[in-house]
């Protein structure tokens, strides 16, 4: 049960930080400044092109091996949240970018004629449409996140999968691992159900 609590905490905190962080990264990717666009593109490329497990390990050991700063065992959880948030922000940024670019150019022109500023156009017109368009893709990433929380075992974070492996090893039984698998499945069903409700609520064609 304690491991289950850690798993849920990783999931919720990752969403809390990565979903908002993905938006400025997405806007930076589309920036008119070539330097800003290149930096944002490099960040997305690295985050998506390297294993999440490796990112967790690097972020955990970087303070000591990179800067000589000693860390406590409590930093394990912090490192996991940082790694997951940075990784998923890159994926959400690309999802947002595809959604923003799918909005017809006429929407921008109509807003300009009506006297909207660029900020007002984005917040009041573009962003609501983008949000509706990217919900299915975001749902897929959120479901993947549920399963990816198990990767935090790489730095011995006491989440559910890590605890299940330890109990399975000590008792020479697969039952704890099966229980963990069942939890992930039920948790995913719940997340998918909530996401489906949100998608249906914002569906253009909802009667």
pLDDT tens digits, one per residue of 6-32: 888 999 999 999 999 999 999 999 888
Nearest to 152 by CA among 144, 162, 164: 162
Domain extents in the chain: 2-201
State the pLDDT confidence band at 49, using cuts at 50, 70 and 90.
very high
The model's pLDDT over 155-174, given as tens digits with 9 standing for 90+, comes to 877 777 778 877 888 888 88
The secondary structure element, H or E, covering residue 3 is helix 2-29
* pTM confidence score: 0.86
Rounded distance between C-alpha atoms, residue 122 and residue 74, angstroms = 40
Percent of the chain with pLDDT strictly greater than 70: 97
b/e code 65-93 from CB counts within 10 Å (16+ = b): eeeeeeeeeebbbebbbbbbbbbbbbbbb
Distances from the Cα of 115 to the Cα of 121, 128, 180, angstroms: 9, 19, 55
Residue 192 pLDDT > 70: yes
Domain 2-201: give its CATH code. 1.10.3720.10
């Amino acid at each position: 049960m304690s491991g289950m609590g850690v798993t849920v905490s990783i999931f919720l905190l990752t969403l809390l930080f990565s979903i908002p962080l993905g938006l400025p990264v997405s806007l930076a990717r589309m920036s008119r400044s070539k330097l800003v666009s290149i930096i944002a593109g490099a960040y997305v490329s690295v985050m998506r092109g390297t294993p999440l497990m490796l990112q967790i390990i690097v972020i955990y050991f970087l303070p000591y091996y990179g800067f000589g700063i000693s860390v406590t065992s409590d930093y394990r959880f912090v490192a996991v949240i940082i790694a997951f948030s940075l990784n998923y922000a890159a994926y959400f940024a690309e999802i947002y970018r595809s959604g923003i670019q799918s909005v017809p150019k006429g929407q921008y022109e109509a807003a300009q004629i009506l006297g909207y500023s660029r900020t007002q156009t984005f917040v009041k017109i573009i962003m609501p449409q983008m949000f509706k368009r990217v919900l299915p893709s975001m749902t897929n990433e959120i479901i993947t996140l549920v399963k990816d929380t198990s990767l935090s075992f790489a730095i011995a974070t006491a989440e559910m999968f890590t605890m299940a492996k330890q109990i399975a090893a000590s008792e020479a039984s697969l039952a704890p691992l099966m229980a963990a698998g069942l939890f992930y499945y039920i948790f995913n069903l719940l997340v998918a159900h909530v996401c489906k409700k949100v998608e249906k609520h914002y569906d253009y064609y909802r009667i």
